[in-house]
């Protein structure tokens, strides 16, 4: 799998800035691992979030879109509020 380029929306950047450093590092590692290898707990979403994907990183969910070799990170939130 070719390496994927990562783009961050401003909302996603704000989401990560508000997290504890340890949690933020876990999120960065999960995104980087997916971008480099394609491995991770990824699920294609449906309903109101159709067309988007979710990557699980512990208790946090990373919402993103994949366009060719570009991963656009749309947001990061705790699992309790990720799908609202």
Q: How do residues 7-56 score in pLDDT, each as one tens digit?
A: 999 999 999 999 999 999 999 999 999 999 999 999 999 999 999 999 99
Give this prediction's pTM: 0.92
pLDDT for residue 1? 63
Above 80 in pLDDT, residue 2?
no
User: How many CB atoms within 10 Å of residue 25?
Assistant: 12
Q: Which tokens hold the place of 11?
A: 């909302």
CATH number of the 5-78 domain: 3.30.2310.20
Q: Which residue in 79, 65, 62, 74 sits closest to 26, CA to CA?
A: 62
pLDDT for residue 50? 93
In degrees and rounded to multiples of 5, residue 20 shows phi and psi of: -60, 145
Distance CA(29)–CA(31), nearest Å, equals 5
User: How many CB atoms within 10 Å of residue 31?
Assistant: 23
Domain boundary assignment for the chain:
5-78
């Amino acid at each position: 799998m070719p390496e994927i380029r990562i783009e961050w929306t401003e909302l996603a950047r704000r989401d990560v800035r508000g997290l504890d450093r340890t949690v933020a590092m876990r999120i960065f590692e999960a995104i980087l691992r997916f971008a480099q290898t394609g491995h991770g707990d990824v699920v294609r979403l449906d309903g109101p979030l159709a067309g988007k994907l979710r990557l699980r990183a512990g208790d946090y969910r990373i919402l993103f879109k994949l366009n060719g070799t570009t991963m656009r990170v749309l947001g990061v939130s705790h699992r309790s509020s990720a799908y609202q």
